[in-house]
Amino acid sequence: MAAEVSAGKLDEFADGGLTPVEVNGEFGRKKVLVARTGESVCAVVNRCPHLGFSLTKGPGGLTFDDGVVQCAWHNSRFDVCSGENRDWVGGFAGRSIPKWSRGMLALGRKPRGLDTIPATVRDGEVLLQID
């Protein structure tokens, strides 16, 4: 059963930005990304479905633009609010690779989306539904 946990105050999250946070869930600490647009927030698990690495810590660094985060390892791109995959294994460490070589880097893994987390703002607090 999911528990409602605080990720922090809304004003701690940059408008138009993406913020990595750790929250306590029923099964321990969970690394989460929170995106804020105005008074709204979206959240996803900070884990690329390709190989399970952090989306934000890696050789490519944090890349977030117009609601889309790019994996810091293999350049896969995802919509933060829906979790939808926009581009699968497009390169390595922020550098693009030719389309013909993407299958090798994908290691046979099929495109998948991110795990989304229900997020709301209540009384200036960002609340997440965490398992």
Q: Which of 2-6, 44-48, 54-58, 64-68 has the lowest mean pLDDT?
A: 2-6
Q: What is the total count of domains within the chain?
A: 2
- Do 67 and 34 have their domain in common? no
121/27 Cα distance (integer angstroms):
23
- Do 80 and 41 have their domain in common? no
- Do 2 and 33 have their domain in common? yes
34/23 Cα distance (integer angstroms):
11
Contact call for residues 29 and 47 (beta carbons, < 8 A): no
Rounded to two decimals, the pTM is 0.90
pLDDT exceeds 90 at position 101? no
The domain of 70 spans 55-114
- Do 92 and 105 have their domain in common? yes
Q: What is the pLDDT of residue 50?
A: 93
| Number of C-beta neighbours around residue 116 at 10 A | 17
Integer angstrom CA distances of residue 57 from 33, 50, 62: 12, 15, 7
Q: What is the CATH number of the domain that holds 37?
A: 2.102.10.10
pLDDT in tens, 61-89: 999 999 999 999 999 999 999 999 999 99
- Do 82 and 106 have their domain in common? yes
